Chains A and B, each alone.
Chain A
């Protein structure tokens, strides 16, 4: 179907929201509380638009497209609401882009930049809230929280760990763990999904901060998690070929086995790639001692061993055990190697043990 946004005719699919359709067409509508994984919330009010023939402002994140609808995202009224939202959010917290771990990937910063707000016009006194650095992997800075509710929705309904919730109300409202204990003492399992969806610097990972790597300096590489058989798709962020941090791969998240989520191992357990004691070369035993070797030398040695056993005792003298930790494709390749190259059906898998 066709809808009109700011005078442009735009393609839209039934079931889409106006926000989806606008974004697909490259029209910028800020949305601080909406996230595809956590859904509409109606909290931030940044995405409001005007619809011809309807009174007042509508949340584009919750507004289904209708054939022929005429939407405006750029009226003076909408601009003034967006400016007010940013100004209010800036006045509410203690934001400091210079030192913020979210600098460069912060959606509030983006919105302020787009609107040309260089310094907050509203200033009210408020006491700073102490940091919560009690958990091993996540730093919580509630003064940077914009009450979007993504982390709460993700924790309660996405990963269903049910640790984070909104407590208190009005301007005293804040996100707490369990009945307001530090994250490190709560029932949190450190899956980090809250960090994954946080639009600002209220929830950040400690790993990149410790390594002094800001998110915009790091580049993602899509990898499959090596820990279990689910096959979670991870964006492994590196800088100068060094590990920075890990995020779930979010593109086409609905088609990923992990649907854009990770567990504690996938989130925090990949820093071993830079471990100094990690094996970086094949080792071959010579005279009872393991000695560094080239891949060619090592593989030749293995091939010779297989060949010798097969000739002396037949292919069924060799058995193969694969792992749930590697991908389906790798397991498949392994089974083809066993059956077609070696010629044995002696192949099994740790998941059957």
Chain B
């Protein structure tokens, strides 16, 4: 190992209050140094840096999909085949690549130039099919664009193949600067009104900000819809331990690609929101836990954080006040479950992303055993508006108990898949119109990310997109990731693909999730391959019903609920396959 690597490893170690947190970044660095995989020596080194036994380092390495034990090609092509990608024709991209490269997923070309892998959701649902090459995403892929990509890679060049991302903003809060050039630059952000809220916040008492966020009834945008102000209120009042703020930027729920719009194009909005939130809850250090696949977005965030530090908007004595706050960007390494807040905390501590038993909740015992608040990117991005314009103004957006703007990510069979910022409570029909309308005839729609019950076209008619209305309609708003399916979609295929995803992502800790997801996947595979029997459908329903509420964390419900809904609502399609 060269001196540069050693120094980089030491720098990583010094970033965190606990050395163990350096394990993931150390493994990432060593994998990059070794051109794509981690061997025994690298693992020993990473374990040394993080101060953990070799066995635990191996446990961590093998938990995360982005760490590899075996060498890959110089260009490792990863094709997202999750449901939004499937709806956009990812299968064709995979078979085109197989044909062009002469290898199957999991293999490497003889010259070592390419390796191919099919992967789970890359949060590019509006721009599918997507291929990840190294740290870059190639979106809106067609066979022709694949050929262009391969030709450039053969010449040793990572080409520029711009994606066509659709978006619009009716609220002009979260996506206000989405179309503005170089909005990631602090100058541009300021020019468009950025960092207007922070000075106002610092003039207030922290508890006044908490009260305003509570008053605005800002509901968590990660999926659960739990009021952020109430969550902040759970922190112990007179603790002597440090308080941490974590921004959940894991964005792993299939169908969800909203947070990246903020982080990639308007990072200072998040930084401003986090700084205000940090001040409000008494945190001096915040983390952005960003999914590892978003490497270039993590770079954007780090540059923006550095700009903010230079301008005294972060660090010691922010804007000359007595407030201190700083942010560390922490990259995940490929694990859906790390979107669950206690798993995220474990992962940030350098461990396997296994959810913790609750209680205690993170507000009491979180990161490094200290009080911790975990909020989603979009949630935190709402905070500056509330501070600047007040809770009353905020509550004029949306519907009662469901206030504020929401970014809806629309993917699947619409003409203009993309991200649309509308007030909560906007009718689904209006959102679909904004996305250019359904291609073909609407058959079904999943409105809140993959983990919520599917709706038939009939059920979706007249649906109002807010937390309470979705619940009343028998589904959930979740992350607001809307996946639209037309008459060409076969629901058993969707169900199989969905359960394969959860089985792949289950952390493996608890029995019903680990083995339940595997058995349900096996049963659905039998059905889809016409090897099943009528009682297999019953077994799936029985298992789903029993798994619900029996698992350690919400992941069990996250697959049992939607699978059960797909089978129940589209039962004739399943039955036709077992006849």
Contacts and interface: CB of A to CB of B under 8 A. Distances in A.
Interface of A: 40, 42-46, 48, 56-57, 59, 62, 80-81, 84-85, 88-89, 91-92, 122, 124, 146-147, 149, 156, 162-173, 176-180, 187
A84 B512 contact: yes
B452 to A, nearest CB: 18
Contacts of B195: none
Interface in B493-520: 503-512, 514-519
Given A40-B357, A84-B546, A176 B515 contact: no
Given A91-B515, A162-B53, A163-B55, A173 B508 contact: yes
Given A80-B546, A84-B547, A179-B54, A45 B62 contact: no
B550 interface: yes
A80 B539 CA distance: 13
Contacts of A84: 512, 516, 543, 546-547, 550
Which of A164, A165, A168 gathers most chain B CB within 10 Å? A165
A164 B547 CA distance: 29
Given A42-B509, A43-B510, A80-B546, 7 more contacts: A89-B511, A149-B509, A165-B55, A169-B62, A169-B352, A170-B505, A170-B517
B279 interface: no
Main secondary structure on B side of the interface with A: helix
A81 B550 contact: yes
B507 A177 contact: no
Contacts of B156: none
A282 B512 CA distance: 61
A350 B519 CA distance: 61
Contact of A43 (B509, B549, B550): B509
Given A40-B357, A45-B550, A176 B519 contact: no
A187 B54 CA distance: 10
Which are the 6 A-B pairs with shortest beta-carbon distances?
A173-B508, A162-B53, A165-B55, A179-B58, A165-B59, A88-B515
B539 A169 contact: no
Nearest to A81: B550
Interface in B506-563: 506-512, 514-519, 522, 539, 543, 546-547, 549-552
A10 B212 CA distance: 47
A169 B43 contact: no
B393 to A, nearest CB: 36
Contact of A165 (B56, B515, B518, B539): B56
Given A62-B357, A169-B62, A178-B55, A124 B518 contact: yes
22 contacts: A42-B510, A45-B550, A45-B552, A92-B515, A122-B539, A147-B508, A147-B509, A156-B55, A162-B55, A162-B56, A165-B55, A166-B508, A167-B59, A167-B62, A168-B63, A168-B508, A169-B505, A170-B505, A173-B508, A178-B55, A179-B40, A180-B58
B515 A172 contact: no
Nearest to A56: B549
Contact of B518 (A40, A156, A171): A171
A80 B542 CA distance: 10
A167 B514 CA distance: 14
B515 A57 contact: no
Nearest to A160: B53
